[in-house]
Amino acid sequence: MKNMKHNLKRKLMIGTAVSAIAAATAVSAEVSDAKVSVKAMADALHLVMDSDRSVYTKKIVNRLVKKEKVIKASEHFEDEKALVLPAQMFRFGSEMAAKRAEKLDDVNFSYTLQSLWPINKQNAPKTNAEKAGLKYVAENKGKNYYTTEKLGGVNYFTAVYADTGVAPVCVSCHNKHPDTPKKDFKIGDVMGGVVIRIPVEG
Ligand code: HEC
Which of 72, 111, 191 gets mutated to test ligand 1 (max ligand atoms within 8 A of its CB)? 191
For residue 2, the model assigns a pLDDT of 46
Give helix then strand counts, H and E, for the chain: 5, 4
CA angle 183, 60, 185 (to 5 degrees): 15
Q: For the residues 96-122, what does the mean pLDDT come to?
A: 97
Structural domain spans, the chain: 1-34, 36-199
C-alpha of residue 73 to centroid of ligand 1, in Å: 11
| CB-ligand 1 contact for 116 (6 Å cutoff) | no
**Mean pLDDT across the stretch 177-202?**
96
Q: Which residue minimizes the CA distance to atom 40 of ligand 1?
A: 170
Ligand 1 atom with the smallest distance to the CA of 74 is 1
Distance (angstroms) between ligand 1 centre and the Cα of 85 equals 7
Mean pLDDT of 81-107: 97
66 and 172 Cβ atoms separated by less than 8 Å? yes
- Cα 34 to Cα 92: distance, rounded to the nearest angstrom: 31
CB 169 within 8 A of CB 57: yes
Q: Which of 159, 156, 154, 157 is nearest to 134 (CA)?
A: 159
* Distance of CA 144 from the midpoint of ligand 1 (Å): 20
Using the predicted structure, report yes or no on whether residue 5 has a pLDDT greater than 50: no
Reported as a single tens digit per residue, the pLDDT across 115-167 is 999 999 999 999 999 999 999 999 999 999 999 999 999 999 999 999 999 99
Helices assigned H by DSSP within the chain: 2-33, 38-55, 86-101, 128-139, 168-176
Q: What is the pLDDT of residue 32?
A: 72
pLDDT at position 30 is 73
Mean pLDDT of 104-123: 96
Residue 163 Cα: closest atom of ligand 1: 35
| Nearest ligand 1 atom, CA 117 | 26
Any ligand 1 atom below 6 A from CB of 88:
yes
Residue located nearest, by CA, to atom 11 of ligand 1: 119
Residue minimizing CA distance to atom 14 of ligand 1: 120
